[in-house]
Amino acid sequence: MKFFLRGLSLSLLCVLVSCLWKSPASLKSPGTIFIRQEVPGYQAIRTAFLGQKESLISHGVSAYSLHRVLRDSHSFILTLKCSNLEKGVDFFRSLGFMAAMDKAGAGIPVIWYGLDATERKYASQSKMSGGIVIARNEVRDYNFWLRCFQSESHHHPGRKYKNSGYSIHYLPGNPAVVLVVHEASDVSKAPSFMTSAAMNGEMKATGVVGLEIWYGINLEEGVF
């Protein structure tokens, strides 16, 4: 009986460990990847990235957008829509992708990603106006933060630019990570608003404990 109970306990432990080990499988769902990288120029990153179109499609990437970093003409932001976030992240961290970007003279990339809570919309646009704001929030409680975010109108009087096209991308953890993305009619006015005292107070009230923001000038968008 003692050996039976010990065996049973071990079996239950194995089941528990198996369940915990499989928890990252939740990333095998639609999500979005955001890559910021220093590159000599727009054509260099465009050629290197689109030259891998077939590999991108085979790894579940269905759409992209390309942006030049505000106030840094040699840094660019890629956003990528993935049917399987885990598979997409693995590809963009692969030696093959890194080698292709190295040939374009690219620097070390910074990669953000999250599951699509509210998906980002894409269309085929070879030329775009406006810009993009990508805020990476570390939050104490995702559900509490989400309720607060959804209760806001986001039409603050001090914004000084038109905001639209919000999307939310979530990554479980402690703290949880929430990427909030929106379009900005004049992205040059976004930094002063996003870092204002009023916004800082609002973020703290919703449980944000860490924040980093990327600002990009829209260049192009495509659907594979």
Residue 3: inside a domain, yes or no?
A: no
Alpha-carbon gap, residue 121 to 166, rounded angstroms: 9
154-192: pLDDT as tens digits: 988 889 999 999 999 999 999 999 999 999 999 999 999
Which pLDDT band holds residue 3 (cuts at 50, 70, 90)?
A: very low
pLDDT averaged over every residue in the chain: 88
**Predicted TM-score of the model (pTM):** 0.87
Kindly state whether residue 198 falls inside one of the protein's structural domains. yes
DSSP 99-115: HHHHHTT----EEEEEE
SS3 state of residue 157: coil
Q: Is residue 16 part of a domain?
A: no
The contacts of residue 167 (CB under 8 Å, 6+ apart) are 32, 116, 118, 119, 120, 121, 180, 181, 182
Q: What is the mean pLDDT of residues 200-205?
A: 94
CATH of the domain at 187: 3.30.70.100
Q: Domain for residue 144, yes or no?
A: yes
Say what percent of the chain tops pLDDT 70: 89
Is the pLDDT at 22 greater than 70, yes or no?
no
Predicted confidence at residue 158, as pLDDT, reads: 87
d(CA 73, CA 62): 27
Q: What is the pLDDT of residues 76-109, one digit of tens each?
A: 999 999 999 999 999 999 999 999 999 899 999 9
Residue 127 is classified by DSSP as S
Count of domains observed in the chain: 1
Domain containing 126 equals 30-223
Residue 128: which pLDDT band, with cuts at 50, 70 and 90?
very high
Residue 65, pLDDT > 60, answer: yes
Evaluate whether residue 203 is within a structural domain: yes
Task: Answer yes or no: are the C-beta atoms of 99 and 106 closer than 8 Å.
Answer: no
Within a domain: residue 8? no
Segment 47-62 shows an average pLDDT of 94
Q: How confident is the model at residue 23 (pLDDT cuts 50, 70, 90)?
A: very low
Contact 224, 57 (CB under 8 A): yes
